[in-house]
Amino acid sequence: MATIGAPLLQAKEGSPRGPLERREERLAWLMLLPVILALLALGVYPVLSTLWFSFQQGGSFGLGTTSAGLANYLRLLHDDQFWSALRFSLLYSLVTVCGQMICGTALALFANRSFRGRWLARAAILFPWAIPTATNSVIWAYMFNDQYGLVNSLLEHLGLVNPAHPIVWLGSAQLATLLIYVLAIWKANSLVALLVLAGLQGIPEEVYEAARVDGASRWQTLWRVTLPLLRPVLLVTLILRTIESLQAFDLISAFTNGGPGNATQNLGLYIYLQIQQFGDFGYGSTIAVVLTAITLVFIVLYMRTLLRTGTR
């Protein structure tokens, strides 16, 4: 029967399509056309235009530019402010992503347990993510203001700070950097918790029952059962958080605007200053191309790890 069915199947596949099938195909392409055009307009064109601008100089806001060759890329090598922003971007990504992954996973494990009021705890966990990033940053900036901020007021009432010498939270490079790390971790660990919680819901209860039968403790179950099964979810979450952290802009812009000085200025904010403040599309695009390349390197490394995990 397989011998008879094979030629019939091949003949059916090789037979010319009828008018109805051709009309359905044209309709399908017609319906996909808006999506394809949107992807080209919002994805491909900005990438190509940014790459083209990175080889231009002069003009204002991208108008009247002339070819610069590799001059903008050579300029990066001697730009101390660029290297400072790059160091801060990489350190910001490392600290905040690690903090978000650890805190978010811990919150997901807590929210996955059965207890009274679990729905309220899950809603509270998602609360920071529900507030817009810029709004969060502005609120924190007011809270840590050295003159009328809530934090200094509480410390003064407790007698821990002299009112004549308040703590200048955002005037110190170390304190401002630390607060940005804390804000970024507090803001995004909710998303990590949500994604990890979804992964936890997909783990069968029979797996935990088998671990209990084998005499595994809670700590052993976490390390030997839960985390290995969550590895694909954790890697995808890690990719998403790394991309966002490297391209962070609104959180830093609304909180410290890169200050004090340039202590908290990352590449996203430096690109904005080059284009918006100085109107230098060429140099700003060059920095954007470098940032995109760095992001792609992380994505490739993570994807190789994810694919290697999936083949085991």
Give the whole-angstrom CA distance, residue 234 versus residue 232: 5
Strand partners, 60: 63
Domains of the chain: 79-310 (1.10.3720.10)
Per-block mean pLDDT, blocks of 10 residues, the chain (312 long): 46 60 86 87 84 82 76 94 96 96 94 86 87 92 91 92 90 95 94 93 90 89 91 90 93 93 94 87 93 91 74 54
pTM for the whole thing?
0.84
Long-range CB contact pairs, 207-212, < 8 A, 24+: none
Which residues touch 20 (CB under 8 Å, ≥6 apart)?
none
